Amino acid sequence: MERPLLPRDAGPIRKLIRDIIDSRRNVAGFLLPMALLVFVSGAVDEPRIRAMFLGLWLATLLAVALDFVLLTSLLRRRIRAQVPEGGRLGGHVFYGILRSTVVRRMRMPRPAVVRGQKV
């Protein structure tokens, strides 16, 4: 039996979104570790090292932005295929983007699919 879900997580579309997000690697999962590295690099006296980590941080932000664009397209396409009558997709897509930013082990409800599994 599936545990009761919060209203924001309930429904077949939200389950589909959770499964899509949980089955792929998301670049946004690297934001927190990279932010920690940038923070720690601030304590280093060498400006080249700080500049290198800042460059990595900016590259990570660009990669996350690109991943969000691709993820938005994927979610819209899959939701429209699942629910052909249309409707507002913005809230569902935003739910997926927010879920992709959370570290996999911290996601609630817990992931029901393994990485790489076809959804």
Provide the residue ranges of all domains of the chain, joining segments of one domain with +. Answer: 11-17+26-103
Write down the pTM of the prediction. 0.86
Q: What is the mean pLDDT of residues 46-58?
A: 93
Q: What tokens were used for 44? A: 């280093």
pLDDT attached to residue 4 = 84
Longest CA pairwise span in the chain (Å): 59
Amino acid at 101: T
- pLDDT over 70 at 86, yes or no: no
pLDDT attached to residue 9 = 93
CB atoms within 10 A of CB 97: 18
Rounded Cα distance between 116 and 6, Å, is 26
Segment holding 74, helix H or strand E: helix 47-82
pLDDT attached to residue 2 = 60
- Residue 40 sits at φ, ψ, to 5 deg, of -65, -35
CB atoms within 10 A of CB 89: 16
